[in-house]
Structure 1
Amino acid sequence: MRQDLAPDQLGAFQQFSNQAFAKGTLDVRTKQLIAVAVAHVTQCPYCIRSHTKAARKAGASREQIMEAIWVAAEMRAGAAYAHSLLALDTMRQEDGKES
């Protein structure tokens, strides 16, 4: 159906995707491990499935895939931790107004 509704855009996206995952400075396995991690951060179930399969096909071990997922988890948790400074700063400003 996507092909029927927007064939040019679909073709351009597929070409972009193929190029993004082609061997370059980074090998395909590394790119797929990155994709597995990003898919977990964006929480896309379709991407998790497809890039996990692609990573395995590219030679990634189960341990490497799990390690990439742990990196994603740390980055997501790290963002919440880092952004807590906004809440702390807001509370500090509010405390200053009450004085």
Structure 2
Amino acid sequence: MTDMMYPPATRETAQKRRDLAPETQAAFDAFSRQVFAEGALSARMKQIIAVAVAHATQCPYCIQGHSKAALRAGATQAELMEAIWVATEMRAGGAYAHSTLALSVFEREEARRQAPAGE
């Protein structure tokens, strides 16, 4: 039993994925290269966004990989931390905004309890 919560990402693991679905893996690799290529957004900015999204989706592998890629692309630690705070606010904001669903249930249940019997 390992002390790690997530198994390490290794070359062997990557090769196993590739061996099990080579065409799909190749397509994903091509898609990833295209997404992170220079374009209207710089590769640096795309990696900063990826770090923020990785925190919002809570993918530990993405956090590690894109943090490294962002630093190598020229992002600063302060930029990445600020992006992480933006992601944190957005995730918390999403939970807050979705509270309207619970509030609507509260209202419906309260109306149901207060309705005369038989209605």
Letter in 2 for 1:70: W
Once the two structures are superposed, what CA deviation does each residue of 1:25-47 show, in whole Å capped at 9, x if it has no partner? 00011100110011001111110
Match of 2:48 in 1: 33
Q: Residue 64 of structure 1: CA displacement?
A: 0.2
Aligned-residue CA RMSD (Å): 0.7
Q: What is the rounded CA distance, in whole Å, between the counterparts of 1:91 and 1:18 in structure 2?
A: 47
Q: Residue 65 of structure 1: CA displacement?
A: 0.2
Match of 1:57 in 2: 72
Q: What is the rounded CA distance, in whole Å, between the counterparts of 1:9 and 1:35 in structure 2?
A: 22
Q: Residue 6 of structure 1: CA displacement?
A: 1.2
- In the alignment of these two chains, the number of paired residues is 99
Name the larger-Rg structure: 2
Kindly, what percent of the aligned residue pairs are identical?
Answer: 60
Match of 1:24 in 2: 39
Q: Which has the higher contact order (CA 8 A, sep 6+)?
A: 1
Higher-helix-fraction structure: 1
Gaps of 5+ in 2: 1-15, 115-119
Q: What is the rounded CA distance, in whole Å, between the counterparts of 2:75 and 2:19 in structure 1?
A: 35
- Does residue 91 in structure 1 map to residue 106 in structure 2? yes
Q: After the TM superposition, which parts of structure 1 deviate over 6 Å for at least 4 consecutive aligned residues? A: none
Match of 2:63 in 1: 48
Q: Residue 3 of structure 1: CA displacement?
A: 2.0
Scaled by the length of structure 2, what TM-score is found? 0.81
Q: Residue 53 of structure 1: CA displacement?
A: 0.6
Gaps of 5+ in 1: none
2:49 counterpart SS class: helix
